[in-house]
A = this chain, B = another copy of it.
Amino acid sequence: MTHIHNGADGFAATALDGFCDVHAHLVQRIRGGVMRATATPPGKVAVVIGGGSGHYPAFAGYVGPGLADAAVAGDIFASPSARAVYDVCKRADRGGGVVLMFGNYAGDVLNFNIAAERLRREGIDTRIVAITDDIASAREPARRRGIAGDLPVLKLAAAAAEAGRPLDEVARIARHANDRTRSFGVAFGGCTLPGAEAPLFSVPAGHMALGLGIHGEPGIDEVAILRAGDLATLLVGRLLDDMPAGAGTPVAAVLNGLGGTKQEELFVLWTSVAAGLRNAGLDAIRPEVGEFITSLDMEGCSLSLTWLDDTLEPLWTAPCDSAALTRGTIIPTTPAPKIEDTADQAAAWAPSSAASRAAGQAVAEAMSLLAATLDGAEAELGRIDAHAGDGDHGRGMACGSAAGARAARDAATEGAGAGDVLTAAADAWAHRAGGTSGALWGLGLQSAGRAIGNQDAPSAVGVAQAARTALDAVMRLGGARPGDKTLVDALLPFVETLERESASGAGLARSWHAAVGAATAAAERTADLLPRIGRARPLAARSKGHPDAGAVSLALCARTILKMMEHENV
C-alpha cells in the first residue's frame, strides 16, 4: 500500500525531486529525468537509461560516475514521452553519441525509437538497446521483456563507456551483455498505485505467481509458496535451462526484491541460491542482493544471471558510484585476517582443590535436577507468566537450565572446581534461555560461581556470601527493587535468611531449608504486588492476584536443591 503522497498526480515527479535533493552530490534534476551532477569528458559516450517510474532505484538511482550518464523518467508504470527521452539525451550527449537502454516494452520501444530518430536527424549518433532478460515473458529472446537484467546490462555497458571506449564498442558490449543475461521472477502479492485503495492485481493467499511482470502483467503459472531452499532451486533451475549458448563461468548474479520483499528474506534466499550456483559449477562474482528494479510495493523477487567472459568480467567489477550501486574503494584498507570460529574450545579450568572438584560434581548434579524440574514445570510457569507478560518464562527457564546442566556436567567431568562448574552453567543458561530472566539467571549464577571459587569446599557461610553476590549483581544490572514483582522479591528473603541462619552457626542444609521457606512464602506474596518495570501497563494491571513467575521459579529451584541436600544428607 502506498500511504505517503499528495494525491496521485505528480507523485512520480515529486519523488524524483526529492531523490535529486538527497543525492545532489550525484545527480541533478533536468526536464524529463536526471543527469549526473559531475562532469564527464568531451567525447565520452553517454549511456542513458529510462522507463516508467515506480521502479526505484530504477532508473534515476543508476546515475553516477561509472554507471549511467542520465536517466529518463516517465510517470508511474508509463513510458516517458519521446520528447522527454530526446531532452535528456540532448543534455547528456558529450559529442561521443548516445547508447539508449530500456526494458523491452511496446510504449518504451516506440518513444525511445522516435526520440532516437530525432537525435540522429540532429547529428547525435544514437544506438538503441532494448533489454530482454525475462525468460518467462516469451519463448523468442527478442520478444522478451526487460526486468532486473537492466542492472547488469547497464553496468557492463556503462563501465565500457567510462573507460573511454567508442560508441560502436559500447553498443556492441551492451547487446552482448543483454544476449548473455537471463532473469526469472516470482510474486507473492500485487502493488498499489499511489492514491489507489486496492492493489493492481493479487495473488491467492499461500500462492506465488511464476514469471510475473513488473507492471502487473500476468504470470505463466501459479503454485503454492515454496520454502526458501526450494524457491532457490526453482529460480536457478529455470535460468540454467535457458542458458545462453557457449556460456561458462563466472556469472554476475542479481537477486532483486520487487519492493515488498525484505532484505532479510533476500539474504535467506541468497544462501540457497549461492549453494545452487556453486553446485552448478558457477562462480558468482560480486553478487548483488537488494532492490534494483521494484514495482512499487509488490511482494516478490527475481534472479538474474549474466554469463561473463573475459571482456565482461572486468567491466562488472569496475568502480562505480550511484544511489543504487557502488563499487570500489572509499577508504583504502587491507583485508583483515579471516577469523575461524571454532566450536567452544576445551576451557582452561582454574586450578582447583579436590574438595572443590567434589563440590563441582554436586553442582552438576543439582543443575541436572533443576533442568528436570523446570522441564516438568514449563507449562505451569508459562501460564503464570502469561498473566503479566508474553508467557515465555517457562520455555526460557527450561531451555536455559537444560543448557546449564549440560555445560555443568561437561565442566565437572573435565575436572573443574565448583566455581568453574557454576560459571560454565551460567554462561550456557544465559545464552540459550534468551530474554531478561535468562540473562539474570546467567548473571546471578556466574556471580555466585566467581564468589565460591575453586579452592574451598563451599560452607554454609560461603554459599550465603555467594548468594548475596548473585543478588547484588541481579539488582545492580537488572534494576529491580524489592516490591517490583520480580524474582528479587523471592531472592532477597532467601539470601537474608541464608545469611542469618549460617551466621548463627547452622549448617548448609538447615540454613537452606529455612531460606527456601522464606522464598516460597515471599513468592506467593508477589500475587499482592503490581509490576513496576519491564511490563506494558495494561498487562501490569491484569497480573494483580497472580504471583510473579520469576519469583515462583526461583522458589521452585531452591526447593529442588533442598530435596537433593536432604536426600544426600548434606
- Chain A interface (Cβ within 8 Å of chain B)? 1-7, 11-12, 14-19, 21-22, 25, 28, 30-31, 35-40, 53-54, 56-57, 65-66, 74-75, 78-79, 81-84, 91, 106-107, 109-111, 113-114, 117, 162, 188-189, 194, 208, 217-218, 225, 227-229, 231, 259-271, 274, 286-289, 291, 294, 296-297, 299, 301, 319-321, 326-331, 333-339, 341, 427, 430-431, 434-436, 438-440, 442-443, 477-479, 533-534, 536
Contact = CB atoms under 8 A, between A and B. Distances in A.
Contacts of A338: 28
Contact of A7 (B17, B227, B334): B227
A98 to B, nearest CB: 17
Query: Which 10 pairs across A and B sit closest by C-beta, in order of nearness?
Result: A18-B267, A38-B333, A4-B265, A65-B331, A328-B330, A15-B264, A18-B270, A15-B267, A321-B330, A3-B188
A336 B288 contact: no
Contacts of A22: 267, 270, 287-289
13 contacts: A3-B265, A11-B268, A14-B268, A18-B271, A21-B287, A22-B288, A40-B336, A78-B435, A82-B442, A107-B436, A117-B477, A194-B264, A327-B330
Contacts of A28: 336, 338-339
A339 B32 CA distance: 13
A38 B334 contact: yes
Nearest to A438: B81
A17 B271 contact: yes
B430 A82 contact: yes
Contact of A427 (B4, B35, B74, B83): B83
Contacts of A84: 431
Tally of this chain's copies = 2
Contact of A259 (B16, B38, B262): B262
Given A228-B5, A321-B331, A14 B271 contact: yes
Contact of A1 (B111, B189, B267): B189
A439 B78 CA distance: 12
Contacts of A301: 4
A338 to B, nearest CB: 6
A91 B439 contact: no
